[in-house]
Amino acid sequence: MTRHQPCPAAPGPLEEYAVRFDELFTRVAQPRGFRQYLTGLLAPRDRNKTLTALAGAEPVTGAQHPAVQRLQFFLSESRWDADRINSRRLDMLLADPATTPHDGGVLVIDDSGDRKDGRKTAHVGRQWLGRYGKTDNGVVTVTTVWADERLYYPVHAQPYTPAKHFAKGKSDPGFRTKLAIGADLAAAARDAGFVFRAVAADSAYGDQDGFRGELAEAGLPFVTALRPHRGTWAYGPGAHTPVDAARALAWGGPDEPGDWQAVTRTFRDGHTETWWAADATLGWWGPDGTHRLVVATADPTALPDKATWYLVTNLPRPGGPREADGPHPAADLTEIVRIYGIRHWIEQSYKQIEDELGWADFQVRSDVAIHRHQVLVNCAFSFCWAAWFSDHPPGQDDTASRQNATTSQAGPGRGERGATHRRAGSVVAAGAAGDPWLAFPLDRVATLVAGMVDGAPATAVAGTAGLGRGRSRPAPLPPEPTNYR
């Protein structure tokens, strides 16, 4: 009988991470595919992370190389359960004291749209792609991210399937809106053991009564944004939009704030700004209603578009009649602003998952293969945190390690709305390839993985309230952040 060849070890600290998934695979070749796929995702981005790139083959002529074909089979045909892999990843995050969720964190719901050509790919359709700011042919995936003031990581992801893929369109029993998917993913995160102060979402979700209703029915607290001019029925001269409600609040300047309360926002670069927040009344929404309308702005007089939030929440007001018997702990204005401020971590998450780890670079068509690719990208992202905390325990002063870092990460990345930028860096895997079909030998990738690990976590967003009952605030994390707030 032919003896099974042992699975080649993954480079560097990736092997210690990957071995914890081995028991979930049913064939000897699957752990090897898992390691090779993650290794390719973690390598610096010098070209799109398609199957040829992940296998280290030439972009076109290397498509038939055995290493590429093995990865293609692993992703599309091999029998393994991506949901079990994701569940194991989440269990590892829950078990690690450095990443375990707490009741001061936030569960962020959002969707990511990526261009895809053709008509045969699962979930593809002409739809709004927020990443590019236009309607185009592509795939939209609804995601949940758990975040607090210092770290963030993806929890679940599910592609949205446009109505055209169903026999009866939107009336088909199998069709589900992005809003319904988002609410289900939030409940799934809670059922998986993730605790959080509230669910946060932007106005694309927060404007929808049905979405907020599904969250409330599931027993989940939320803080979601509203469009400034979202119309609401009201009696006669009453406020009909969130902007109207904000302008009805009394304001006499910083020395006579009237209905407004000063709150301090601390940003990731360490600077602080004084904002103003207030409970407003809009229709049946009020300070002591089932839903509160909270306005937060840098200038109550001008209400600037880019520095004003209109938020709706089901968290009761401290000292109000709903505090005693409400299903959720009360939250003051400072806490509401803190919760929604954490929502912006998802922009940082998208930059790293999409721009560095190749979220949208898949060249497969089936639903199974797309789902597997997304799960593997999330595994690569979570590995970066595991490796980081292995070398930098929470609370450790790592300024010196930042200054002494010798490995830099290089490669092009698509910024917000498709903008392109490039960071300077050294070429780690230089030299001639060992095989004319291969762009670089896979045994040189250890240094590349180390570069991704050092570059993955972002620095902290200092909050304005405690992280949870009895939990001390962790130290900030390097490296320097992007321009996102």
Rounded (5°) CA angle 115-116-117:
125
pLDDT higher for 294 or 441? Answer: 294
Instruction: Tell me the C-alpha distance between 155 and 325, whole Å.
Output: 31
| Percentage of residues in the chain having pLDDT higher than 90 | 46
Q: Could you tell me the pLDDT band of residue 417, with boundaries at 50, 70 and 90?
A: very low
Q: Could you tell me the pLDDT band of residue 138, with boundaries at 50, 70 and 90?
A: confident
Taking only the tens place, the pLDDT of each residue in 199-216 is 999 999 998 989 999 999
* DSSP conformational letter for 352: I
pLDDT at 255: 93
**Which of 6-20, 51-65, 293-307, 327-341 is least confident?**
51-65
pLDDT at 402: 30
Q: Look over the chain and give the mean of its residue pLDDT values, rounded to a whole number.
A: 79
pLDDT at 56: 80
Q: Could you tell me the pLDDT band of residue 240, with boundaries at 50, 70 and 90?
A: confident
Name, in order, each residue with C-beta under 8 angstroms of 190's C-beta and a sequence gap of 6 or more.
196, 218, 220
Q: What is the DSSP string of 4-71?
A: PPPPPPPSTTHHHHHGGGGGG-SSTHHHHHHHHHHHHHHS--SS---HHHHTTB-TTTTTTSHHHHHH
> What is the SS3 assignment for 412?
strand
pLDDT higher for 392 or 161? Answer: 161
Q: With 0-12 CB in 10 A as exposed, 13-18 as middle and 19+ as buried, what is 174?
A: exposed
Q: With 0-12 CB in 10 A as exposed, 13-18 as middle and 19+ as buried, what is 95?
A: exposed
**Residue 366 structure tokens:** 């089936």
**Which of 12-26, 220-234, 316-330 is least confident?**
220-234
Do the Cβ atoms of 201 and 313 come closer than 8 Å? no
pLDDT at 1: 45
Closest CA to 333 of 319, 317, 322, 347: 317
Taking only the tens place, the pLDDT of each residue in 55-99 is 888 777 788 888 889 999 999 999 999 999 999 999 999 999 999
Taking only the tens place, the pLDDT of each residue in 377-411 is 999 999 988 888 887 776 544 433 332 322 222 23
Single-letter code of the amino acid located at 382: S
